[in-house]
């Protein structure tokens, strides 16, 4: 379902002056970032740069010590994870979050059923299971797993597990999606297929932010790149501009060389 609203000036996601201090350590400092509806952003940076912390602050796992988070213009800084999810924010984690003994269809159907449970009236209750199954099959087709419905999630390859996690996420109908290292642990032969699934998420008009270490994947997929370094946003621009930025080259590429 397209979520892109052409002509709107309100960012799908915006952080302003976001900071996190724990004890004496400034983990994140003054991160201001606007993501337009339908845009796809790659978040890169060396280990410990603050990428996961940024995702935790945006999704509500952590509360910032300074600054704000807005989803579609609404200030969600004080909202817990569940309320942000209802506001349209969906997130995958670095580690797999599917139920390994349940089959592929059941994993997505459960998520769809929970989501529909909130949006359908009590009168529609008997139809909820059917509606959830239909929804689940659609989302599984979107990630290319429609031929694996009866397979136990635990028996899938890492790449297919990641696709399943994305389908579970889609069942909650998010407008802004955070993908935390989607390629982590995925075999190189599965990378192109998973990249294609992520590209399709973007093409469907959803807003996507992705933390990813595979630079070739990031640069080939995203509209803009946010470069984190020592807890700060060092650069935020197109892949071409970021890669030719001398500050980025010395700070980021220098660190990982
Ligand atoms: N709860 C915490 N208490 C103290 N330090 C923390 C805490 N959480 C994160 N840090 C530190 O903050 C910095 C940023 O961590 P973060 O996990 O956000 O980096 P990252 O860019 O996601 O790194 P990686 O690529 O390794 O996942 C690191 O130096 C980390 O050790």
**Domains in the chain and their CATH numbers?**
1-88+218-257 (3.40.50.300)
Q: What is the pLDDT of residue 95?
A: 65
What are the residues whose beta carbons fall under 8 Å from the beta carbon of 172, sequence distance 6 or more? 85, 90, 111, 114, 115
Is ligand 1 within 6 A of the CB of residue 42?
no
Half-sphere exposure of 208 (CA within 13 A, CB side): 29
Q: Is 86 helix (H, G, I), strand (E, B) or coil?
A: helix
Please list, residue by residue across 22-31, b when 16 or more beta carbons sit within 10 angstroms of its beta carbon and e when fewer do: eeeebbbbeb
Nearest CA to ligand 1 atom 24: 47
Q: Is the pLDDT of residue 192 over 70?
A: yes
Nearest CA to ligand 1 atom 16: 50
Q: What is the pLDDT of residue 97?
A: 74
Q: What is the pLDDT of residue 254?
A: 60
Nearest CA to ligand 1 atom 2: 22
Least confident of 36-45, 68-77, 188-197, 212-221: 212-221
To the nearest 10 degrees (0 to 180), the angle between helices 125-142 and 104-119 is 130
The Cα–Cα gap between 119 and 117 comes to: 6
Backbone torsion region of residue 173, taken as left when φ is above 0, otherwise alpha when ψ lies between -120 and 50, otherwise beta: left
Is ligand 1 within 6 A of the CB of residue 24?
no
From the alpha carbon of 27, which atom of ligand 1 is closest? 12
């Amino acid at each position: 379902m397209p979520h892109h609203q052409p002509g709107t000036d309100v960012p799908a996601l915006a952080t302003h002056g976001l900071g996190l201090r724990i004890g004496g350590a400034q983990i994140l400092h003054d991160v201001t970032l606007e993501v337009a509806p339908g845009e796809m952003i790659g978040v890169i940076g060396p280990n410990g740069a603050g990428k996961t912390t940024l995702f935790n602050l945006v999704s509500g796992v952590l509360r910032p010590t300074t600054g704000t988070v807005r989803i579609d213009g609404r200030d969600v800084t004080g909202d817990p994870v569940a309320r942000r999810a209802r506001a349209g924010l969906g997130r995958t984690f670095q580690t797999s979050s599917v139920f390994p003994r349940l089959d592929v269809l059941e994993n997505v159907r459960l998520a769809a059923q929970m989501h529909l449970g909130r949006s359908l009236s009590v009168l529609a209750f008997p139809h909820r299971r059917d509606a959830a199954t239909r929804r689940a099959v659609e989302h599984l087709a979107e990630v290319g797993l429609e031929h694996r419905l009866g397979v136990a999630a635990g028996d899938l390859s890492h790449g297919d597990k990641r696709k399943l996690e994305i389908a579970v996420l889609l069942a909650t109908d998010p407008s802004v999606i955070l993908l935390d290292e989607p390629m982590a642990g995925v075999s190189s032969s599965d990378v192109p297929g998973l990249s294609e699934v992520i590209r399709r998420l973007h093409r469907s008009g959803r807003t996507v932010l992705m933390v990813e270490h595979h630079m070739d994947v990031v640069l080939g997929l995203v509209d803009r790149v946010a470069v984190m370094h020592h807890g700060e946003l060092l650069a935020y621009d197109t892949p071409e501009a970021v890669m030719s930025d001398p500050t980025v080259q010395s700070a980021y590429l220098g660190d990982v060389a």
